Chains A and B, each alone.
Chain A
Amino acid sequence: MVIDRLDVTAEEFTAATGWKLEPRGACQDDVCVPLPPLDVDAEGRFDATVVADCLGMPIAHDETHGLWALGPRSGDRRVLDSARLPDLVLSDFDGNAFDLASARGRKVVLVAWSSW
């Protein structure tokens, strides 16, 4: 997700990355990554780069528009952490939501195509 400031609240960080900030660290599903003590201001904002760095999330910046994007966890890892299908909801061409989990109970070949 693209953000327009690097000092974020815990809610904003979760919305941007899916990772929740808990007393034991940044957590998602069964995984928790320990964090150093965060310098949180009166509005509940902290430096997102500190948490992103602990999680191995690179940050890209656009100076002209004052925007940042947090990339996926990366480093000595692969695209898939496990073979479990992640939560993923896409839309059809009419804008109707389609939850891939709705196909549970059947085999699915998920094919990506493109006009290009």
Chain B
Amino acid sequence: MSPKGVDIVTVALDTDVEAARPFHDAAPATHASLVDPGHELVAHFGMTNAPFAIWIDEDGTIVRPAEVAFAPRPPDAERPDQSSFVAQLPERQRTIIEGMTANIGDTDRYGAAVRDWADRGADSPYVLSEAEVVERSRPRPAEFGLAAAHFELAQHLHRCGFARDAVPHFAEAHRLDPTNWSYHREALSLVDPEWGQVYERDMLSEVEAVGIETFYPALDM
């Protein structure tokens, strides 16, 4: 992509940067590979899960707001077959996981859209107007803003060594903004297994309760 004038910049949304480092080290990046322990991308752009992406043009204008952005998958023969693993799960788990991932199967479409933008620039049909970008960005009602404040408190307490005290604020952030899965997934990743179950429900039950379709919302492109 780079020769065509498209730079990929990746950002790890991990409160604990060291959790992301092994992945970074395993695939040395030729592009800018950044970290965002404060989840600024969530606050600024409304990324509610990962992987999510935005497009920024040469003038610094966002031309596509935050949306699910899975990279094109390698050919079947070159990737591990997870379908057999999922098929062995109990029916309820299998149904939830299949629902969660139903919208990521068409990864080639997203990659093709990026290539079209690389080739045609502003003439690409995937480029949105400024008004469309704002309109398609996530609503931020008062409860979502309060959720962001609780999430910030939780992150602060965790970083300061008060990990257990962070839990109620992580939980409150998720309760107030349940479809922002970056809050819930980050919180779960920071729980010490020795604490036992600190949140009311396990991940799959939570997804089922909130809405399976909210986990990876369908691409609108």
Give me the interface of A with B, judged by CB distance under 8 Å: 1-2, 56-62, 64-65, 67-86, 88, 90-93, 98, 100-101, 103-116
Contacts and interface: CB of A to CB of B under 8 A. Distances in A.
7 contacts: A60-B172, A74-B140, A80-B133, A82-B134, A93-B34, A98-B9, A115-B23
B145 A113 contact: no
Given A113-B50, A114-B20, A85 B60 contact: yes
Given A79-B137, A107-B118, A112-B50, A93 B189 contact: no
Contact of A70 (B59, B149, B185): B149
Given A60-B169, A83-B61, A83-B62, A113 B11 contact: yes
B54 interface: yes
Given A60-B146, A98-B34, A114-B14, A108 B59 contact: no
B19 A115 contact: yes
Given A80-B62, A84-B60, A107-B6, A112 B11 contact: yes
A77 B140 contact: yes
Contacts of B65: 79-80
B153 A103 contact: no
A75 B169 CA distance: 21
Interface residues of B, number: 82
Interface of B: 1, 5-14, 17, 19-24, 32-36, 40-47, 50-63, 65-66, 69, 114, 117-118, 121, 130, 133-135, 137-142, 144-150, 152-153, 156-157, 162, 165, 169, 172, 182, 185-186, 188-189
A107 B153 contact: no
A91 B40 CA distance: 12
A90 to B, nearest CB: 4
A111 B17 CA distance: 16
A78 B146 CA distance: 14
Given A74-B144, A79-B138, A108-B6, A92 B133 contact: no
A107 B189 contact: no
B56 A110 contact: yes
A109 B150 contact: no
Contact of A82 (B130, B146, B165, B186): B130
Nearest to B147: A71
Contacts of B24: 93
Nearest to B153: A69
Contacts of A81: 134
B93 to A, nearest CB: 18
Interface centre among B62, B141, B172, B186 (most CB of A within 10 A): B62
